[in-house]
Amino acid sequence: MSDPQNAQHPNDGPVFHGSVSRSQFAWGNETVTQNQQSDTTVAPGYEALAERVRELLRQLPQAGLPDQDREDATAAAEEVLAEITRPEPVEEGRVRRALTTLRGALAPVATGVAAGATMGAQEWALAAMGGLTGAG
């Protein structure tokens, strides 16, 4: 009888022994974009911001941003969501800093300074930044 812990599956992809939850996997891809939506509770007063940031994250992969700008924007947006959905009271300074970083990641695209930014990406970044203005 073979040991399932040492079983080999050469071309079938990953094998998991035990429970796997709230995880994302990709293999055999040249590129991949993955998103997760968290159903955690948003701190009171931050509901509109959470919706704007979640929408930004949903649209980000199709926005045509250069890789580094997309990664920076994603990290900042996820930081905003993490702060406003954590069980402890929201640290407004952290939210402001993350929003500043997020707007900063979008600004070069919105102004056309970012290399490889298409006109569609510029318009999208301008609209996204407008939705974040006054937030935080």
Which of helix, strand or coil describes residue 136? coil
Is pLDDT of 121 > 50? yes
For 48, other C-beta atoms within 10 Å of its C-beta total 11
Only one residue has tokens 């318009």, namely 123
The residue ranking higher by pLDDT, 111 or 23, is 111
Rg (CA), the chain: 19
**DSSP secondary structure letter of residue 70:** H
Confidence of residue 84 (pLDDT cuts 50, 70, 90): very high
- CA 94/CA 108 separation, integer angstroms: 22
The residue ranking higher by pLDDT, 84 or 1, is 84
For 31, other C-beta atoms within 10 Å of its C-beta total 6
Whether the pTM exceeds 0.75: the reply is: no
- pLDDT, position 14: 67
